[in-house]
Chain A
Amino acid sequence: MILKDLSEAIGVSGEEGGVRAVLLDAVQGLADEVRVDTMGNVLAVKRGAGRDRMRVMVAAHMDEIGLMVVGHDSDGFLQVRAVGGIDPRLLPGTLFQVGSDHIPGVVGIKPIHLVEDEEEEKVAKIEDLVLDIGAKSKDEAKRLAPIGTYAAFTTRFRKRGRVVSGKAFDDRVGCAVLVELLRGERFRFDLHAAFTVQEEIGLRGARVAAYAIEPDCAFALEGTIADDIPKDKDVSPTTQMGKGPAITIMDRSVIADRRLVRLLTDTADEIGIPYQIKQPGIGGTDAGAIHQTREGVPSVTVAVPCRYIHSPVALLSLDDFENTVRLMREALSRLTRRTLSR
């Protein structure tokens, strides 16, 4: 299952090779051209069946959040910093895989027995945490995990009925949706699939990919926040698992083009695909970088709701995944130049 392979592959922002290998393999035979640019983005083109030379970019990012080794102490512990938005509250008790040899490492904190009440309330800062790979000396630690080594979550992908769990659904689920789009029939237009790098540290790969592709419009595919767990006040869950693909109208990085939003919602209404509008004003995606390239690119983001993204274990519904693929395929089938006329 492509989502499983992608979820378990390792690719922290800046070293996406593990995921790139899985994707290069997965898109073999599905696209007319595949190349990897200097930043490491995988750019695949599936030429259109018709005469419309419209260029449609669909992006999903390969990178995941993780840690980077920045130092070694005299006891052999690794000092680390966050790569992307890792929540420090989640670090204690977490298992990581370190470096290209996937050495297991753990993050532990002072035992509760030894901690005063007030200290229990404080969240340890990442500068004060260490990653333990079992090394016995500074030299050994340096040799096994030199400065610059990446550490990723270690979570096995599991399926429980229609719900799956694993790491890095943000944005391996987006990558999986994109692979499925490449797998089907050709569209009228040229589909430029971009599996991007370094989204988590500033939408970097998408920016240069969009510059190279020069699309007429763009869709970013994501795994997004589903905050549908119990809370005190009746407020937005951001998105809800099981309620279908989430369309972004506005987040911190982009205001979606309303014509593309309408294309998606009209398509969904017409065919009967459930969907939701992501809570406006939260988060940022590759669409943020893409829409501001060159003379501007009308863009929108479509996401699969995932609980606990940016934690070692996320959950998503396969119904949402399949509905996202369906919505994208149907909407893209209805997309023409007229959609973008004013």
Chain B
Amino acid sequence: MRELVRKLTETYGPSGVEEQIRATIRAEVEPLADDVRVDPLGSLVAHREGSGEGKRIVLAAHMDEIGVMVTYVDEKGFARFTGIGGVRAINCVGGRVAFEDGTTGVLGVEEKRSDADKVPKFEQLYIDVGASSRDDCPVKVGDAAAFVRPFVAQGNRLIAKAIDDRVGCAVLIEALRRLKKTPHDLYFIFTTQEEVGLRGARTSVYGIEPDLAIAVDVTLTGDMPESKPMAVELGRGPAVKVQDGGMIAHPEVRDLLVQCAEKAKIPYQMEVLERGTTDAAAMQVVRAGVPSGCISIPCRYVHTPSEMVDEGDVENGVRLLLEVLQTA
């Protein structure tokens, strides 16, 4: 699984420009699914038919990552930018980004800032691709870039950019790979544009009309120095979402996840997230409603270029998902 997570996290795919990551994921799931299609907003839907007596279930993980988009190129060839999804200026300083064609950019900060001891604002940052003028600048307004960091596996921990939510995609792919028989009609959806408003999930699920939907995404932890209090920690198993900033998990789905974890003796934690949400929030209110829940992989430093998860939690996430899919 390490290799899969490495491959997925290192692939380019900011919200709205998911072609490359979609191709990478498609190559993984095509041999495992009965049919694969791409829907109008670009989500990849891999279908595995069940034996017929079960439910129609959607599993969702988003394939887009946060990034930046060029808003302006000045006379000297420096690019100003805006965030794609929840990017914070503090996480940009000193960073590197890569555009769709591989062009690398360095994130610089204006030196002459009146409030130089405070965190810079977006308007005080810029991307330097090494150009000497607007005319020879290889990037233009509207070009999108993702953050750049190599994947590192160290001990039990996996460190990379875009762990959110390529690790969720990995869990889905691995579950599909290991899945033997299931009574349920399964749709593994790799959604687009979650980071800018859960847009791919909302529309994908409209087309499928499932009985049940489960998202696999990351959640925050409270186990770092001077963390805000939060009960979830790395290494104590995947978390079963109770509530987050956008939804309350359907009690039946939440209980199903807990029962499956206990039955298969998988360690798990209960998650209450104050701010932030997942595709599950969008899926739950599609059409006349879909009972929805979420398996969350605990993750430190979410929305920074060095997100960290515990490999055991990821593996247990796969096992939990499989247990659910093989239960009626």
Contacts and interface: CB of A to CB of B under 8 A. Distances in A.
A258 B69 CA distance: 14
B199 A277 contact: no
A235 B41 contact: no
B101 to A, nearest CB: 14
Interface in A162-204: none
Given A255-B16, A280-B69, A298 B74 contact: no
Interface stretch (B77-85, B151-159, B234-242, B293-301): B77-85
Interface in B169-219: 193, 196, 199-200, 202-204, 206-207
B70 A280 contact: yes
Contacts of A249: 69, 141-142
Nearest to B37: A342
B121 to A, nearest CB: 12
B142 A292 contact: no
A220 interface: no
Interface in A250-288: 250, 255-256, 258, 261, 277, 279-281
A117 interface: no
B40 interface: yes
Contacts of A4: none
- How big is chain B's contact interface, by range? 20 to 34
A60 B207 CA distance: 27
Contact of B204 (A236, A255, A256, A295): A295
Contacts of A255: 15-16, 84, 193, 196, 199
A281 B206 contact: no
A296 interface: yes
Contact of B142 (A277, A294, A296, A297): A277
Interface of A: 233-236, 249-250, 255-256, 258, 261, 277, 279-281, 291-298, 342
Interface of B: 15-17, 38-41, 69-72, 74-75, 80, 82-84, 123, 140-142, 193, 196, 199-200, 202-204, 206-207
15 contacts: A235-B74, A235-B80, A249-B141, A255-B196, A258-B16, A277-B140, A280-B141, A281-B82, A294-B203, A294-B207, A295-B203, A296-B39, A296-B41, A298-B40, A342-B38
